Amino acid sequence: MSSLSYCVNARRKVKSIKIATLTQSAVGGNNASSTATAAVSNVLANVDHIVAKASTSSAKDSSLINNSLVAVSRTLEGKLQITSNSYEQLVLLPSSKMSGDQKTLIKGHSSQYVKLNVGGRLYYTTIGTLTKHNDTMLSAMFSGRMEVLTDAEGWILIDRCGQHFGTILNYLRDGTVPLPDSHKEIAELLAEAKYYCITELAMSCERALLAHQEPKPICRIPLITSQKEEQMLISSSSKPAVILVVQRQNNKYSYTNNSDDNLLKNIELFDKLSLRFNERILFIKDVIGPSEICCWSFYGHGKKVAEVCCTSIVYATDRKHTKVEFPEARIYEETLQVLLYENRNAPDQELLQATSSVRNPSGGGSSSGASCAGSGGMHQYTSDEEEERTGLARLRSNKRNNPT
């Protein structure tokens, strides 16, 4: 279209506009009508002057006239903007009020379409869809109860992520909508539903999140891979600790008849205690023990207070055998003893002495058959057979020392 035709058509369009009375909130003054009327009159006067000159001009002046028409057409676009109000009348707003985004009230017929820019995503829908549920934020925005932000092209701006706005519109239309499969997308849709105050959709998302929630494990058992890791776990925990060493590769001999069953019983007891006391005791399983096959260790305040060894070497007529026992009562006893270290901020020496099987090397109260672990003098429980032999040795010693 040529500039002359553009200006002529623009003149016809402007003359056909009915200047409506602008509201105080949209423009901000009572002189808006007179200002808009004056702007239209000035533009029409310029158009009439250039059109009249163009009809009598020669070809030499056509370029100058064309440039003048372009300038006037830009003036027409810059000074005025055509929009629509709730009464379907065209309203001219002065350019001083239209430079950039503005807030306005929107209220129209339910069949009227509006265009939405939600986080950069564009949507077309009717006012009836947006106001179908009265208690939502969108209903307030498009029923004249709440101001909305529009840009220079008439797009209504909503500063939210537009990814799930289509789902929001489908729910407003139908009252129901299939929810996404992803836990992350359901959580995102829940946030949007809460923002737009769509209560029913938010409740549906919350129920779906509960159904998608992964089951929380009752307890976690660390499986250590090094002695350094074991010490780090014990020192960093405020709970007492119980460690079970299970390492069948350390066996050099064949097992006795009941050893396999007893080994499984020890593992089952460890699992049972873990489920029962996981909130109060740190249970650790060690499968790389350097020497033990099946051994329980009990810790309080980062120090070992007891140990129950469940394996021993027995001698048969032809060769040695490894015997695994299940001292259930002793394991329960030491587990209950280690619970005394719960909720204590610092080591208690009296408690350590009372609950640990410590033998004083210089005192006379130590048993001759008791074995001590390292410099701490900790008693290591072994098999029942070994303790029986220790008891018999003690009786023989007493008889020799006290002959009748």
Give the model confidence (pLDDT) of 248-261 as tens digits: 776 777 888 888 89
Q: Which residue has the higher pLDDT, 381 or 310?
A: 310
- DSSP lists the bridge partners of residue 224 as 286
Q: Are both 345 and 251 inside the same structural domain?
A: yes
pTM of the model: 0.41
Residue 323 lies in a domain: yes
Q: Which structural domain range is residue 332 located in?
A: 223-360+368-401
pLDDT over 90 percentage in the chain:
27
Residue in the block written with tokens 């057409």? 73
- At 242, which helix (H) or strand (E)? strand 241-246
Mean pLDDT of 228-248: 88
Residue 302 has pLDDT above 70, yes or no: yes
The answer to whether 370 and 390 have CB atoms below 8 angstroms apart is yes
Residue 191 lies in a domain: yes
Q: Are both 91 and 120 inside the same structural domain?
A: no
Query: Structure tokens of 175?
Result: 């009252």
pLDDT tier for residue 205 given thresholds of 50, 70 and 90: very high
Q: Are both 311 and 264 inside the same structural domain?
A: yes
Mean pLDDT of 27-32: 44
Say if residue 360 is exposed, middle or buried (CB neighbours under 10 Å; 0-12, 13-18, 19+): exposed
Residue 68 lies in a domain: yes
Residue 280 lies in a domain: yes
Mean pLDDT of 47-74: 56
Number of domains in the chain: 3
Contacts of 341 (CB under 8 A, 6+ apart): 240, 300, 301, 305, 351, 355
Residue in the block written with tokens 């001590």? 372
Residue 347 has φ and ψ, to the nearest 5°, of -60, 140
> Residue 313 carries which side chain, given as an amino acid letter?
I
- Compute the distance between CA of residue 403 and CA of residue 66 in angstroms, rounded to an integer: 139
Determine the pLDDT at residue 158.
92
> Residue 136 carries which side chain, given as an amino acid letter?
T
Residue 217 lies in a domain: no
User: Domain containing 197 — which CATH number?
Assistant: 3.30.710.10
- Compute the distance between CA of residue 306 and CA of residue 338 in angstroms, rounded to an integer: 9
Residue 218 lies in a domain: no
Q: Are both 323 and 258 inside the same structural domain?
A: yes
pLDDT by residue (tens digit) across 315-369? 877 788 888 899 999 999 999 998 888 876 655 666 556 666 543 433 433 333 3
Core vs surface per residue 23-48: b (16+ CB within 10 A) or e: eeebbeeeebeebbeebbeebbebbe
Q: Are both 194 and 246 inside the same structural domain?
A: no
Q: What's the angle, vertex CA 16, arms to CA 14 and CA 20, rounded to 5?
A: 85
